[in-house]
Amino acid sequence: MRAGSEGARLHTLSVGAWMPGALVRLALLLVVVAVGLVSGTGPLWQWLCVGAAAVAALVPRTMAAWLAAAMLALGLLLVPPELWRTAVVVGAVHAVHVLGSLALAIPVRSRVQLRVLVPTVRRFVAIQAVSQSVVLAAGVVLPAAGDVALPWAAPVGALALLGVALLLLRSVRGARE
């Protein structure tokens, strides 16, 4: 017998409630598949979204999750506008962003302690409360303006979001230097 092998273990590691790291990638794929099916876009568009999500689930470094999110959002331009569809896609795009970010950080074979995800879930819920309120307000205000279609609103909003993102990146780079 070796020295010290006769006693019980001195140290144990207890992870607590956990989930497999692969579940994050699976959730990413399931969100895109579910929203792709209910979005009402054509089968080709749905398969392209699912394909991008599958690539993102298998190889997160490809950043294909954000391609899938963009395709879900652009899919809204392919179908008649409906408030429920917009709300679902806004939530899904945010979920894909969060899950894509987590997939980049969490190895597929790891165990993720559920308590670690609580701040992420809280942020997700807080942001969705605000964004879904904006979707609801837009759904109430825009039909009151008449049956005027606003096809230019999505590209203008995307450009505004790009501008904000670039400003934030510039400020982050300035803080590092």
Interval 74-89: pLDDT, tens? 998 888 888 899 999 9
Higher pLDDT, 151 or 28: 28
Higher pLDDT, 171 or 35: 35
Cα diameter, the chain: 86
Q: Residue 113: what pLDDT? A: 94
**DSSP secondary structure string for all residues of 24-86:** HHHHHHHHHHHHHHHS---HHHHHHHHHHHHHHHH-GGG-HHHHHHHHHHHHGGGS---HHHH
Calpha distance 92→104 (Å, rounded): 18
Interval 156-172: pLDDT, tens? 777 878 888 888 888 87
Structure confidence at residue 110 as a pLDDT band (50, 70, 90): very high
Q: Residue 105: what pLDDT? A: 95
From the CA atom positions of the chain, what is the Rg in Å?
A: 21
Neighbouring CB atoms inside 10 A of 155's CB total 11
Percent of the chain past pLDDT 70, that is, above it, reads: 86
Question: Is the model's pLDDT at 16 over the cut of 90?
Answer: no
Structure confidence at residue 145 as a pLDDT band (50, 70, 90): low
pTM exceeds 0.75: yes
Interval 87-96: pLDDT, tens? 999 999 999 9
Question: Is the model's pLDDT at 1 over the cut of 60?
Answer: no
**DSSP secondary structure string for all residues of 73-131:** HHHGGGS---HHHHHHHHHHHHHHHHHHHHHHHS-TT-EEEGGGGHHHHHHHHHHHHHH
Share the mean pLDDT of the chain: 86
